[in-house]
Structure 1
Amino acid sequence: MASEKPLRILHCFRSPVGGIFRHVRDLAEEHAKAGHQVGILCDSTTGGTYEDQLFETIMPHLALGLTRLPIRRSLGLSDITTAVKTFSEVKNLQPDVLHGHGAKGGAFVRLIGSRLRVSRSCVARFYSPHGGSLHYSAGTLRGHAYFAIERLLERWTDSLVFVSDYERRTYEQKVGAPRTEWRLIHNGLRAHEFEPVDNNPNAADFLYIGMMRDLKGPDVFIEALRRAERLAGRPLRGVMVGDGEDKPRYQARLDALGLGTRVTMRDAMPARDAFALARTVVIPSRAESMPYIVLEAVAAGKPVISTKVGGIPEIVGDGFAGFVPPGDSEALAVAMARAIAEPEWLSAAMPTMDAFRANFSAQTMAERMTEVYRDCLEGRMRDSSNSHPSSLS
C-alpha cells in the first residue's frame, strides 16, 4: 500500500545552527528509525567545530546524504547560481518530500520542487517558517517585500507546517490567511532529554545560551546582570554559551562593565552540558518562534527566566511567573535578583513534568509530520494521474 511505502525526504535550510538545525536533526533521526530515507541540504559557510560534530552524529541517519552549498542570508544574485546547483542536486536525489525550513530554505524548496513537478515528478513541497521572514516589521519596506514573496510562494506550496500557534497567527497578520493547506505541529524532545540535569559544584548563577546576535538578547543579558548585582547586593556570576559574529562585541562590553572576570564566554556546546554550568537559565530573546532551548531547559528541570515572545507561552503557560518584556534589561534584572533572593520562586512556577512530556515528544512530532507528508502525497498522486502538470501549480 502507498501508505506503507518508505518516503524519500529532503530537508533544505540555510544556516546549520540553532533551533532549525535541531528540529531537522530530530526529524531526520526519528524518520530514519521509522524506515524512511532522509537527506539534508544546507549552507556550507556557517557553523563551526560544534556543528561539524553534530553532522557526524546525524550522518548515519542520512541515507540521502548531506549536501552543502554556499547560501547567503540576504537575497542576492548569488541565489540564482545556488538555485541552479541546488536543482541539480535535488533532481538526482529523486525525493518524495521537499521540506524547506526558514525563508531561504522555503524559497528554494518551493521553486525547485515546482520545477520538478513540470517534469511530472510527484514531489510534495512543504514550508516551515521558523520565524524567518516573519521577524521583519510590517511597517518597513523590506518587511512588505518579504511578505509579498511569501504570499507569491504560497501558490507553489502543498502545505505550510507551523511549529507554534504564535507562528501561525503572525503569518496571518503579516502575510495573510493561508491559501493552501496548513498544520500545527509543536517541536518535541527525545526521551533522554527529560532526565534532570544537576548543577556543577561551582555552578554560576545565570546561563545565557544561544546565538550571539542582538535578536536573541545577549546584550540585554549583560546589562541586566550588572543591574541585578546592585539589586542583590552582591557580585553575581554568569556563563554565556554560543557562537556568532557579534561575540567579540559582547566580550568587549563585559570587559567595559568590569564583568569580564565574573561572566565566562564559552563556545557552543550541547545544551545539557551547558545547563550544568549555572543554576538558572535566562532567555532574553527579542523574537522567537518555538525555541528548543526553552523546551530543553524545562525538560532538564532548570528554572527559567524568559521574555514573553513567540511560542514560549505555549511551552510554559501564558501566565508563567518568570516572564519579562523583551528588550527590558531593568525588568530582567529584577527577575534575576528575585531568583537569587528566593531560590524556590521559579522552581514552583515551572510546568508539571508529566503534562509537559505528553505535549512535547520528538516521536509524536515525527509521526504527525509523516501524516502530513502522506496526506499531501496521496492527494497529489491522485491529481497528477488525472492531469498534465503544465505549469508551476
Structure 2
Amino acid sequence: MTAGKLRILQVMRAPVGGLFRHVADLTRELSGHGHSVGLVVDSLANDAQTESRLTELAPHVALGIHRFDMPRVLGRGDLITPLAVRKLAKSLDINVLHGHGAKGGFYARLARLGGSKAVAIYTPHGGVLHFDKSSASGRVFHMLERWLMGQTGAIVFESAYAQATYGGLIGAPTCPTRVIHNGLAADEFVPVPANADAADFVFVGELRDLKGIHVLIEALAGVRRADGSPATLVMAGDGSSRDALVAQINQLGLEARVSLIGAQPARPSFARGRIAVVPSLAESLPYIVLEAAAAQLPVIATRVGGIPEIYGPTSSSLIAANDAVALQGAMQAALDAPEATRQEAVQRAAYIAERFSLARMAGDIEALYAELTAPA
C-alpha cells in the first residue's frame, strides 16, 4: 500500500435514499484522494434503479462491488454474511471497514471477530435509532449494539441529534465518536429558479407515512393564494403509501391541486414548485432539506432530528411534526409574506454553505480513518 493511502470497504444494505447518497459521495471523494475503495451491498438489491446507481459509481470503486445476502430485519444472511465480509476484507487487505446503517454497521463490526487487522467504523444513519427500546426488535438491535462496542473503532454521527439519541437508547459509547454533518457539492449551491408553471409547493421524498405526507395533504386543503384561489402542490416520489395517499387526495377533492409525478431527481423537481415542504415525522439529517435550502428554495420543515442543526439561525421557523394546523399556518404564512420568505431562504443557504460542504464531510471522515489506522 502506498504511504498514506488506505484500502476501504464501505458496507451497507440497499443503495437507496440518503444513506446511499452519503456513501456514494464519500466513495467518490476518497477515490479522488487516491484511496482504494470497495462496496458491499445486499445481493437482492438489483432493481433497475439500483443497478443504474451502482453502475455510475463503479469507476470509483477500485476494489469492486460485492453482493451478499443482507435480510432487511433478521435472517439466515445475518449468520453467513459477516463471515463472507471478513473473508473478503482479508483477501483485499482492507484497512478500514466502514458500516453504514444498522445492517452495514453490524456486518462491518462482526467481520472483525477472529482478529481482523481492519478497523471498523460505524455510521448509524438513523437505522437502529428508529427502533423503540420497548419493542422486541429494538431490544435485540440495541443489545447487539452494546455487544459490538468492543469491535468498534469509532462511531460517526451525521448529527448531534443522532449522537444524543444513540446515547439515550444504547448508552454512552466506549469508543471515540465524531459528529460529521452530511455535505453538498459546490454545484448544489447554485439557485434553482422556479418554472413558469410551477406549483406553489413541492414535496420531494418517499411516499410513506413517516415522511408526513398525509399531514401535508390535510394542511394543503385550507391554504389559499393572495387572490383567494387554492394553493397547488407537486409531489415527486414513490413508496408504499402511494395508494393511501391517492385515496386521501380523492376523498378531500384535491385531484386538481395535487400532481404526483413519481420518483424524480431532486434539483429538477425543485423547479416544479416555489416553496419546498418537508413535513417529516422523524429524520436524522435529511439531505432533501440541505439540497432544497442550498438551492435557495424557501423550505417549510418540522422540528425533528437534526433539522434544527441545518436551519441554524432560522430554526425558529420550524414547526411541530404531525400537526396539520401548524403546517397549514406555515404554508399560508409563506404565501402571504413572499419577500420575508425569500430573505429567510437566502440567509439559510448562506449558513449551510459555510458548514455543510462535501469537501468538509469527506475530509473529516478521511482524517478519522488516518487517525485510527496510524501506527501505534
Q: In the alignment, is the contact (CA less than 8 A) between 1:321 and 1:346 conserved in 2?
A: no
Corresponding residue of 2:28: 29
For 1:33-72, list aligned pairs within 5 A: 33-46=32-45, 48-72=47-71
Q: CA RMSD in A?
A: 2.3
- Find the partner of 2:359 among 353, 356, 363: 363
Corresponding residue of 2:16: 17
Q: Residue 203 of structure 2 aligns to which amino acid in structure 1?
A: Y
Q: Residue 320 of structure 1 aligns to a residue in which SS?
A: helix
The normalised TM-score by structure 1 is 0.89
CA displacement at 1:8 relative to structure 2: 1.1
Corresponding residue of 2:72: 73
Change in Cα spacing, 1:317 to 1:235, as seen in structure 2 (3 Å) is same
Q: In the alignment, is the contact (CA less than 8 A) between 2:129 and 2:169 conserved in 1?
A: yes
Tell me the matched-pair count.
375
Q: What's the CA shift string for 1:342-383, capped at 9, x where partnerless?
A: 2223222233544421211111111111111111112xx53x
CA displacement at 1:108 relative to structure 2: 0.7
For the residues of structure 2 that align with 1:335 and 1:327, how far apart are their CA atoms?
13
Moved more, 259-268 or 106-115: 259-268
Moved more, 136-145 or 94-103: 136-145
For the residues of structure 2 that align with 1:317 and 1:330, how far apart are their CA atoms?
24
Corresponding residue of 1:390: none
For the residues of structure 1 that align with 2:17 and 2:35, how far apart are their CA atoms?
24
CA displacement at 1:96 relative to structure 2: 1.2
Corresponding residue of 1:192: 187
Q: What's the CA shift string for 1:226-247, capped at 9, x where partnerless?
A: 2335999432221111232222
Q: What's the CA shift string for 1:129-168, capped at 9, x where partnerless?
A: 1111112234444433322221111111010011111111
Change in Cα spacing, 1:301 to 1:155, as seen in structure 2 (3 Å) is same
Change in Cα spacing, 1:353 to 1:280, as seen in structure 2 (3 Å) is closer
Q: Residue 368 of structure 2 aligns to a residue in which SS?
A: helix
For the residues of structure 2 that align with 1:113 and 1:231, how far apart are their CA atoms?
61
Q: In the alignment, is the contact (CA less than 8 A) between 1:322 and 1:349 conserved in 2?
A: no
Moved more, 318-327 or 83-92: 83-92
For the residues of structure 1 that align with 2:311 and 2:14, how far apart are their CA atoms?
27
CA displacement at 1:35 relative to structure 2: 0.7
For 1:228-243, list aligned pairs within 5 A: 228-229=223-224, 233-243=228-238
For the residues of structure 2 that align with 1:273 and 1:147, how far apart are their CA atoms?
39
CA displacement at 1:212 relative to structure 2: 2.0
- Segments of structure 1 that go 5 or more residues without pairing to the other structure are 383-393
Corresponding residue of 2:318: 323
For 1:233-312, list aligned pairs within 5 A: 233-312=228-307
Identical pairs, percent: 42
Q: In the alignment, is the contact (CA less than 8 A) between 1:122 and 1:377 conserved in 2?
A: no
Q: Residue 295 of structure 1 aligns to a residue in which SS?
A: helix
CA displacement at 1:321 relative to structure 2: 4.1
Corresponding residue of 2:372: 376
Q: Residue 66 of structure 2 aligns to a residue in which SS?
A: strand
For the residues of structure 1 that align with 2:154 and 2:77, how far apart are their CA atoms?
27
Q: Residue 338 of structure 2 aligns to a residue in which SS?
A: coil
Corresponding residue of 1:340: 335
- Segments of structure 2 that go 5 or more residues without pairing to the other structure are none
For the residues of structure 2 that align with 1:44 and 1:251, how far apart are their CA atoms?
32
Q: In the alignment, is the contact (CA less than 8 A) between 1:208 and 1:221 conserved in 2?
A: no
CA displacement at 1:95 relative to structure 2: 1.8
The normalised TM-score by structure 2 is 0.92
Q: In the alignment, is the contact (CA less than 8 A) between 2:311 and 2:348 conserved in 1?
A: no
- Find the partner of 1:124 among 110, 119, 122: 119
Change in Cα spacing, 1:229 to 1:149, as seen in structure 2 (3 Å) is farther
Q: Residue 304 of structure 1 aligns to which amino acid in structure 2?
A: V
Change in Cα spacing, 1:158 to 1:259, as seen in structure 2 (3 Å) is same
Change in Cα spacing, 1:83 to 1:352, as seen in structure 2 (3 Å) is closer
Q: In the alignment, is the contact (CA less than 8 A) between 1:102 and 1:132 conserved in 2?
A: yes
Matched, 1:182 2:180: no
Q: In the alignment, is the contact (CA less than 8 A) between 2:182 and 2:285 conserved in 1?
A: yes
Corresponding residue of 2:96: 97
CA displacement at 1:262 relative to structure 2: 2.2
Corresponding residue of 1:7: 6
For the residues of structure 2 that align with 1:157 and 1:341, how far apart are their CA atoms?
51
Change in Cα spacing, 1:197 to 1:44, as seen in structure 2 (3 Å) is farther
For the residues of structure 2 that align with 1:284 and 1:323, how far apart are their CA atoms?
10
